[in-house]
Amino acid sequence: WAWEHSFAWPKIRRGTAVYAGILLLVMLYGSARLAFAPPATGTVRMHGITAVDMRQNWIALNQLKEQEGWEAMRQRAAEYHDLYFADTIREARAGAELVHWPEQAVMVPGEDEPAFIARAQEIARQEGVYLALGVGAVFQDDRPWENKLIVIDPAGEVALEHHKYALAEMEGTKGGDGILRTLETPFGTLSGVVCNDTNHEEVVTQAGRNGTDILLAPSLEYRAIDPIHAHMAIYRAIENGVTVVRQADNGLSFVADPYGRVLAAVDHWTASERVLLAQVPAQAGVFTIYPYIGDLFAWLSVVGFVVIAVWGVVRWRRAGRELTTGQ
């Protein structure tokens, strides 16, 4: 538009003023929203732990199964369980109220899962903590394996379970239903997704509609997408007005509040100790319109662009015909 008018100030100043005014209002609103955000009424102390590099260990466990059999793999997997449980007890005794594991933190053979869960329940009850487990349950038969988040409360009860929804067919897992469950806690409403679920609007926007305050998002990454994939998840916090707690193996772990402010972060590739410590805001969820309208504004912008482009072509062709007729 300005180009068409050769950037002649008398012709473009009104439109430029309108554009600049709207942009300024948007920026002022964003700044004011951050400046006047109410303080959290309290916090919950969260410790995220990555005890071992399970991306490499999953490969090693599968190779061990092929070379030495299922029982050898079971025994090696149990050693990794011991490491995670030991770190959980250590962090609980260091003051954690919520201990968070990454996605697929442990491989759990199906026949060992009841005993594994019972052990986790006993530790949660004994230490008085919420324990968020990233579990990869595998089976000796042809059943698809399960990639899930399990949250155990301080009473030792399995209070929330979420099966990963995204990429299920590609990963060969038993896909979840994409429905977010919630758990009421003293520090607010808790919910959870797994890794690439945060890329799916239809899943995460439920957190913005169901009153979630804290969204757990355990992840197992690889270096090529670190930290880009983590940064994408911060947008989910802003869009849905929730605090995202993301404990990652092979990636960036972080806590981001509903305004997108990163409260704590640890990068798997640079940290000497892969423990994320954060005072997570309690009952700090905020209302946003995104969970209700989604990308409506973006699609309206696309439609507007198409309309303007078509209008411009029509004007150009009409002007050409008038010029030809005039000659």
Identify the helix (H) or strand (E) that includes residue 228: helix 228-240
Say if 37 falls within a structural domain.
no
Say if 190 falls within a structural domain.
yes
Say if 38 falls within a structural domain.
no
Say if 246 falls within a structural domain.
yes
Question: Chain-wide mean pLDDT for the chain?
Answer: 95
> Does pLDDT of 327 surpass 60?
no
Say if 193 falls within a structural domain.
yes
- As for how many domains the chain has, the answer is 1
Angstrom distance (rounded) from CA 152 to CA 133: 8
* Residues 167-202 pLDDT 10s: 888 889 999 999 999 999 999 999 999 999 999 999
**CA distance to 58, 108, 158, per residue, from 118 (Å):** 23, 13, 10
Of 102, 70, 75, 99, which is closest to residue 87 (Cα–Cα)? Answer: 99
Of 158, 155, 157, 139, which is closest to residue 147 (Cα–Cα)? Answer: 139
Which tokens go with 167?
């990429």
pTM: 0.92
Q: Residue 238 contacts by C-beta under 8 Å, 6 or more apart in sequence? A: 258, 259, 260, 288
Say if 132 falls within a structural domain.
yes
Buried b (16+ CB within 10 A) or exposed e, 111-135: ebbeebbeebbebbbebebbbbbbb
Say if 181 falls within a structural domain.
yes
pLDDT the model gives residue 28: 97
Report the CATH number that the domain containing residue 69 is assigned in CATH.
3.60.110.10
Say if 310 falls within a structural domain.
no
- Residue 264: which domain range? 43-286
> Does pLDDT of 64 surpass 90?
yes
pLDDT the model gives residue 217: 99
Identify the helix (H) or strand (E) that includes residue 9: helix 9-35
pLDDT the model gives residue 56: 87
Contact 162, 176 (CB under 8 A): yes
